[in-house]
Amino acid sequence: MADALLFNPRTYDPAHFDPETRRLLRATVDWFEARGKRRLIEDYRSRAWLADFLAFSAKEGLFATFLTPAADASGEDQRWDTARIAALNEIFGFYGLDYWYAWQVTILGLGPVWQSGNAAARARAAELLAQGEVFAFGLSEKTHGADIYSTDMLLEPDGDGGFRATGSKYYIGNGNAAGLVSVFGRRTDVEGPDGYVFFAADSRRADYHLVKNVVDSSKYVSEFRLEDYPVAAEDVLHTGRAAFDAALNTVNVGKFNLCTASIGICEHAMYEAVTHAQNRVLYGRPVTAFPHVRRELTDAYVRLVGMKLFSDRAVDYFRTAGPDDRRYLLFNPMTKMKVTTEGEKVIDLMWDVIAAKGFEKDNYFAQAAVEIRGLPKLEGTVHVNLALILKFMRNHLLEPVDYPAVPTRLDAADDDFLFRQGPARGLGSVRFHDWRAAYDGYAELPNVARLREQADALCEFVTTAAPDEEQSRDLDLLLAVGQLFALVVHGQLILEQARLTHLDQDVLDELFAVLVRDFSAHAVELYGKDSATGAQQTWALGAVRRPVVDEARSARVWDRVEALSGAYEMAP
């Protein structure tokens, strides 16, 4: 019997969605399956542009249906629905990150448009989507990266209400083919934030110069240059501080997609890894008979389940967000940072088992092992997102407030708040519900109780041994603290989703055994930091816990892992 916790194309039926969403998701799976594994891998190896995939998407209206907000829709099934967007991320990740990337940067390119009050630009974007076009997000630059304070894309007023734009952008996905590129720049005649401008450019214009693909991949991650490019008044999406906010809020929307892409990659790789290990014989025994192999594959499996639970629950907070509920601003960098780094661990654990098999050119795994590395590094590094997470730590741990319960959000609703998030500031004022309730609901599970002990200890740390003003400038130390906090939040949303989905308690307790080990490892890391005080060192060693071992529980979870052998293999 197929494991219901993992995506399996053989059994996939997204019946929890409306009929058109269900049809499109299944049609996407069927398109990839019909192409077959050999074609999938060969296109990846030969760095082929995704023309056939984009033709399929255009024919089905896939991007137009999923990425047109209801306010700009021309069809009844068009809306911006984070739940179904997440489902499609997972499918794209399962078959190859190149496909996901073209979709992801289209989402980023649309962000400034859907946040704009420019009705003409919105109508143009909706029409381009209907035609099957892709989009691009022209923010980062070769010299400054994503430091938008220092942009060198310069707009000189032309005297007729428009501008002439000159400058280059670097690391811009879809820059070779985008029907609309949302470009961030600054006016030459206005100093400071009031001079920022977001405008729409067209990659097919003669004064748009495509320089190169900066990566060796089917992902076209371009460098382009505008030379005296005419920007008419109707091309302007945002000006001043609103342009700055649109950039950050777009990244808020876009970086959420990295978690479910990472999940899809890990799922496909896991089917291959377990099948190989189960059928390979060493010294007269299957590889999976060795205790260390069982532990590594079991750890990989429960980590992957945790990734899915956290991400699914985070969707609910995204969809329920509003001006008075901005909890998503914590859970968003968590999905980007924590879930994607968990994905790296999952791949590494499996790779330790299958060893040389992970390099073979006829497997998906070799591709997965490369692509999983990119996700923690896109839309802000792990370090940037950890630093962001720390802004919420005190309020989350120590100052809970009452919120209505957030239900599972699979309804066919338009998540329009994501395009009216408002000013990108005030993170320190965001409040949260009490994280303890999720842990209390599973207090009977030994390893949930043990991580709860560690979480309580972290509250004590924040109260009695938090970094002082000087240490607050030591990012190396702060990042170690951030990892500890991230584990508490990770566990919280996993437990909330476990309750909503009636997750098998063996799987949950086995997962929390892994999280207890992780917390202990990060505590030891904090102990060793150069600037850690004596009190912080004492606290760190005192927070180390050993997970509760239950051989019968681990054996039952292993049975679930072993059953993945042969459960799915992509057709040749």
Greater model confidence, 377 or 5 = 5
Q: Which residues contact 114 (CB under 8 A, 6 or more apart)?
A: 69, 72, 80, 122, 125, 419
Q: What is the 3-state secondary structure (H, E, C) of 112-131?
A: HHHCCCCHHHHHHHHHHHHC
Mean pLDDT of the chain: 95
Q: What percent of the chain has pLDDT over 70?
A: 100
Quote the pLDDT of residue 377.
86
Q: Please tell me the least confidently modeled range out of 219-228, 410-419, 424-433.
A: 424-433
Q: What is the pTM of this model?
A: 0.96
pLDDT at 415 over 80: yes
pLDDT at 396 over 70: yes
Whether the CB-CB separation of 212 and 168 falls below 8 Å is answered with no
Across the range 147-151, mean pLDDT stands at: 81
**Backbone dihedral angles phi then psi of residue 315, each to the nearest 5 degrees:** -55, -45
Across the range 109-136, mean pLDDT stands at: 97
Q: pLDDT tier at 348 (50, 70, 90 boundaries)?
A: very high
pLDDT at 569 over 90: yes
Q: What is the pLDDT of residues 162-189, one digit of tens each?
A: 999 999 999 999 999 999 999 999 999 9
Across the range 103-111, mean pLDDT stands at: 97
Whether the CB-CB separation of 40 and 362 falls below 8 Å is answered with no
pLDDT at 365 over 70: yes
Quote the pLDDT of residue 1.
47
Q: Which of 562, 453, 556, 561 is nearest to 509 (CA)?
A: 556
What are the distances in angstroms from CA 198 to CA 136, 243, 274, 325, 378? 13, 6, 48, 27, 21
The tokens of 103 are what? 């979709």
Quote the pLDDT of residue 450.
98
What are the distances in angstroms from CA 265 to CA 6, 359, 406? 11, 16, 29
d(CA 533, CA 467): 9
DSSP string, 470-490: TGGG-HHHHHHHHHHHHHHHH
Q: What is the 3-state secondary structure (H, E, C) of 235-288?
A: HEEEECHHHHHHHHHHHHHHHCHHHHHHHHHHHHHHHHHHHHHHHCEECCEEHH
d(CA 309, CA 314): 9
d(CA 410, CA 15): 11
Q: What is the pLDDT of residues 447-489, one digit of tens each?
A: 999 999 999 999 999 999 999 888 988 989 999 999 999 999 9
Q: Are strands 180-187 and 135-138 parallel, antiparallel or unpaired?
A: parallel
Q: pLDDT tier at 65 (50, 70, 90 boundaries)?
A: very high
Quote the pLDDT of residue 2.
58
pLDDT at 147 over 90: no
d(CA 45, CA 27): 25
